[in-house]
Amino acid sequence: GESVGLHLPTLSVQEGDNSIINCAYSNSASDYFIWYKQESGKGPQFIIDIRSNMDKRQGQRVTVLLNKTVKHLSLQIAATQPGDSAVYFCAENRAQGGGSQGNLIFGKGTKLSVKP
């Protein structure tokens, strides 16, 4: 059948504002979550990760929140800058048999546009 492009959710923010990007994950067994940023023509770039024994983790200008009850993940970017414009992906990983598998399950992505 015909391939249809993914309709990426888009978030447009003013430079200097805070951005919140949301993600719903699929498997309650997932215990490791990562946010990646992908700029046009580049591979995904690691931003921040969080394990399921945590609810919140902070990095430089970024915070990830994990709500296991509703299987929801969010990425908060403080003082958003034009250089933050990119597609943001959440990814989940689940351990199997005591070890983890090297595969990530990616969300569809959110396109963040920052207006100067």
- Which residues are at the interface with another protein (CB under 8 A)? 3-6, 31-32, 34, 36, 41-46, 49, 51, 89, 91, 93, 95, 99-109
Which residues, 6+ apart, have CB-to-CB distance to 36 below 8 Å?
44, 45, 46, 47, 88, 89, 90, 91
- CB atoms under 10 Å from CB of 108, counted, come to 12
Cβ 77 to another protein shortest distance, Å? 19
Structural tokens at position 45: 């770039």
CA atoms of 32 and 38, how far apart (whole Å): 20
Cβ 98 to another protein shortest distance, Å? 8
Q: Which is nearer to another protein, 7 or 116 (CB)?
A: 7
Please answer whether residues 11 and 115 qualify as being in contact, where contact means their C-beta atoms are separated by less than 8 angstroms: no
Cβ 31 to another protein shortest distance, Å? 8
Cβ 14 to another protein shortest distance, Å? 28
Considering Cα of 9, then 15, then 20, then 23, what sign does the dihedral take? positive
Q: Which is nearer to another protein, 15 or 49 (CB)?
A: 49
Q: Which is nearer to another protein, 25 or 89 (CB)?
A: 89
Q: Which is nearer to another protein, 80 or 107 (CB)?
A: 107
